[in-house]
Structure 1
Amino acid sequence: QIPLVSPPSQSLDSTKVDRFKGSLMGMAVGDALGASVEFRPRQYLLDHPVSNMQSGGTWGLQAGQWTDDTSMALCLASSL
């Protein structure tokens, strides 16, 4: 869980916070969906379309596990 804390002088609109959380969630889900086919050629994707969470891929990740891309984005979001 990443706490969302605004500076004391600013208040965050709940709609903006929801959108921010949603964008992070969408990024993580998209990354996890694509993790098993990362670095594969286009033809592989055409022959084996991704329709659910899959394990394996270049890094041997478990189904639903995100990559370092999401990890770094979450760290950046936390620092902001």
Structure 2
Amino acid sequence: MTPSNNQVRYAVQDRTTQRTEKVVSQHLTSVEHSIIKEEKKKIAQKSSRQPSGLYRPSSILSTDSTRSTLYEAGTMPPTKEDWQQ
């Protein structure tokens, strides 16, 4: 079975991105590497804590009954830390 055009295209893209990352990483110092790692961690933390969709915390939605309904529906209500931001 021959691979579809998409599979071939993705394979090529993967190889090129890996190669460019290697070339870039050779030019960076260890300090720059640590900075980049920290930034990636921050971005990962931010994206994982964001409430999904258009949901915004407000006084109306802070009641327990609404919280439990949202929890069952799969949209996790934000924590107190998120509210204080």
Q: Structure 2-normalised TM-score? A: 0.38
Q: Structure 1-normalised TM-score? A: 0.39
- Higher RCO (CA 8 Å, separation ≥ 6 residues): 1
Q: Which has the larger radius of gyration?
A: 2
